[in-house]
């Protein structure tokens, strides 16, 4: 069927192997909504500019609308062996409305057509993912609000470092996903330009109006240079990069959730709805969701690298290599949308074991830095000397099998006479957490400020 439409020069039937390699219909058929939307806008513009008649426009419109309905309802399946979604729909249109259908492709090429369809798809899903990210950030903020006084060991090198609160830890993730959201928004804005009317590569001699089609498709304006436009897949690469970065964040969180739900930590419990069992070990409850989210990150990274590699050596303008742009993007988009939804639901229903987190703070001398800071501040000791004296006190606490926060003033005096009684309260883990009250720090009051700022930002975004 497609041979008739797309190949005036090719007389023999295509080899089945050529078709297996060349046809994109099996995967680009998901673009049918965008393809029809683009064709409707194009036909309306052609009629407006007197390039086709109003009568032809009416026939094309009716035909395309009935095709859309039939695909949606399942009455029309797109597996007629055409090369791609563009040929399949044009073919079907001509079957339905005759000659008017053959006029649709005036002043258009599949090169600007595919660029338009694909951009519409990417922009649509950009909006969907961005919306989901706002909800995810809100979920983090909600958890943070409930835990601004829940102590846990903050870590570096996965070793206990300084006491922080769990709300603060959640706000770190809220900040990461906020940046992801902003990246999606900026990609949307940068790429919201219409490729339609660029034709094969150089524009067209027909008196078209690209502003008209841009406007009716929801783009801000037409693109500047047609040669660039039909060669450009940056919008798809940006989508892949934004998804890869977002999934990288999700993967880091997943790693923590997996650790925290282990018996060694026991800091959180995933709801039974979000855990799976083992086929042989009846006692097991496995964190499959965060494990899969961690793994999906590899897959979306692969999609990004694959398209970067496809594009890297291509001369201008369109090359068939570029047909390889779609499957990875569809896959990453699907993966991203499912992943954010699952993560959001799982976080909303996870339980936090405050006691276990608090207990963990009694290991690792988390407030040691506070003692060193005290010696510097109150005793005028050079920091390096204070650091060494604190080290001695930590060793002493270890010899007693105690955490530094459990030492009495008498015990402290055994190592140094320089220490006053008020140090004991200072070494308390909560006091230590609240002492870090510099801007952006973990102190409860600072965490609350961060939550308020993030809530305000969420309100602003929601009202846009
Ligand atoms: N199926 C093609 C793709 O996805 C459409 C563009 C074809 N253009 C061409 N000149 N062969 O890239």
28 close to ligand 1 (CB < 6 Angstrom)? yes
Atom of ligand 1 nearest to the CA of 24: 1
450 close to ligand 1 (CB < 6 Angstrom)? no
Look at ligand 1, atom 7, and give the residue with the nearest C-alpha: 110
**Which is the catalytic residue, given 15, 186, 262, 278?**
278
Query: Residue 221 belongs to what H/E stretch?
Result: strand 221-222
**Which is the catalytic residue, given 157, 279, 438, 463?**
157
Two tokens, residue 460 = 């602003």
Given this model, what pLDDT does residue 6 score? 61
Given this model, what pLDDT does residue 216 score? 98
335 close to ligand 1 (CB < 6 Angstrom)? no
325 close to ligand 1 (CB < 6 Angstrom)? no
Two tokens, residue 328 = 């990875």
Q: Give the residue ranges of the chain where pLDDT is below 70.
A: 1-6
Question: How far, in Å, from the CA of 49 to the mean position of ligand 1?
Answer: 26
Q: Please say if 278 is a catalytic residue.
A: yes
Given this model, what pLDDT does residue 352 score? 98
**Closest alpha carbon to 329 in 126, 127, 184:** 126
Is 284 in contact with 278 (CB distance < 8 Å)?
A: yes
**Closest alpha carbon to 250 in 294, 292, 300:** 294
Atom of ligand 1 nearest to the CA of 85: 1
Number of H helices, E strands in the chain: 21, 6
Q: Please say if 105 is a catalytic residue.
A: no
323 close to ligand 1 (CB < 6 Angstrom)? yes
**Closest alpha carbon to 235 in 109, 326, 300:** 326
Two tokens, residue 453 = 């700022």
Query: Given ligand 1 and candidates 24, 116, 330, which is best to mutate, with the most ligand atoms within 8 Å of its CB?
Result: 24
Given this model, what pLDDT does residue 129 score? 98
* Reported pTM: 0.95
Given this model, what pLDDT does residue 86 score? 98
Question: How far, in Å, from the CA of 61 to the mean position of ligand 1?
Answer: 24
Given this model, what pLDDT does residue 5 score? 56
Kindly state the greatest CA–CA separation across the chain: 100
Atom of ligand 1 nearest to the CA of 28: 4
Given this model, what pLDDT does residue 284 score? 79
Question: How far, in Å, from the CA of 324 to the mean position of ligand 1?
Answer: 10
How confident is the model over 162-216, as pLDDT tens digits? 999 999 999 999 999 999 999 999 999 999 999 999 999 999 999 999 999 999 9
The neighbour count for residue 333, using CB atoms within 10 Å, is 23
Given this model, what pLDDT does residue 3 score? 47
Rg (CA), the chain: 31
Given this model, what pLDDT does residue 285 score? 84
Given this model, what pLDDT does residue 60 score? 98
Question: How far, in Å, from the CA of 321 to the mean position of ligand 1?
Answer: 9
How confident is the model over 16-42, as pLDDT tens digits? 999 999 999 999 999 999 999 999 999
């Amino acid at each position: 069927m497609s041979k008739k439409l797309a190949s005036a020069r090719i007389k023999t039937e295509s080899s089945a192997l050529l078709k297996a390699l060349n046809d994109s219909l099996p995967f680009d058929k998901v673009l049918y909504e965008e393809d029809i939307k683009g064709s409707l806008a194009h036909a309306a513009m052609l009629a407006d500019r007197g390039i086709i008649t109003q009568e032809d426009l009416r026939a094309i419109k009716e035909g395309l609308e009935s095709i859309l309905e039939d695909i949606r309802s399942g009455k029309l399946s797109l597996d007629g062996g055409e090369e791609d979604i563009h040929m399949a729909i044009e073919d079907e249109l001509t079957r339905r409305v005759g000659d008017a259908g053959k006029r649709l492709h005036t002043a258009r090429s599949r090169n600007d057509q595919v660029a338009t369809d694909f951009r519409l798809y990417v922009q649509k899903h950009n909006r969907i993912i961005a919306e989901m990210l706002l909800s995810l950030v809100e979920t983090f903020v909600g958890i943070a609000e409930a835990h601004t006084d829940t102590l846990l060991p903050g870590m570096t090198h996965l070793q206990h470092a300084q006491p922080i609160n769990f709300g603060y830890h959640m706000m770190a993730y809220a900040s990461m996903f906020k940046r992801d959201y902003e990246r999606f928004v900026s990609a949307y804005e940068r790429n919201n330009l219409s490729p339609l009317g660029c034709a094969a590569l150089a524009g067209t001699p027909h008196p078209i109006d690209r502003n008209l089609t841009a406007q009716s498709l929801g783009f801000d304006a037409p693109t500047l240079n047609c040669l660039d436009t039909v060669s450009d897949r940056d919008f798809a690469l940006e989508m892949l990069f934004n998804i890869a970065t977002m999934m990288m964040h999700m993967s880091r969180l997943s790693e923590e959730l997996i650790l925290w739900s282990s018996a060694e930590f026991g800091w959180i419990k995933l709801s039974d709805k979000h855990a799976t069992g083992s086929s042989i070990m009846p006692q097991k409850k496995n964190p499959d969701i965060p494990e899969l989210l961690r793994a999906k990150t590899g897959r979306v990274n692969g999609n990004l690298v694959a398209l970067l590699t496809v594009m890297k050596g291509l001369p201008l303008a369109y090359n068939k290599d570029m047909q390889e742009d779609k499957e990875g993007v569809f896959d990453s988009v699907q993966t991203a949308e499912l992943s954010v939804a699952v993560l959001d639901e799982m976080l909303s229903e996870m339980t936090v074991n405050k006691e276990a987190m608090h207990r963990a703070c009694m290991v690792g001398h988390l407030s040691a830095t506070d003692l060193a800071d005290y010696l510097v501040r109150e005793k005028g000791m050079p920091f390096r000397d204070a650091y060494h004296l604190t080290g001695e006190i930590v060793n002493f606490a270890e010899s007693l099998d105690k955490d530094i926060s459990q030492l009495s003033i008498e015990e402290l005096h055994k190592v140094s006479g320089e220490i006053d009684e008020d140090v004991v309260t200072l070494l308390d883990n909560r006091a230590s957490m609240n002492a870090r009250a510099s801007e952006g720090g973990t102190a409860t009051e600072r965490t609350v400020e961060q939550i308020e700022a993030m809530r305000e930002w969420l309100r602003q975004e929601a009202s846009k």
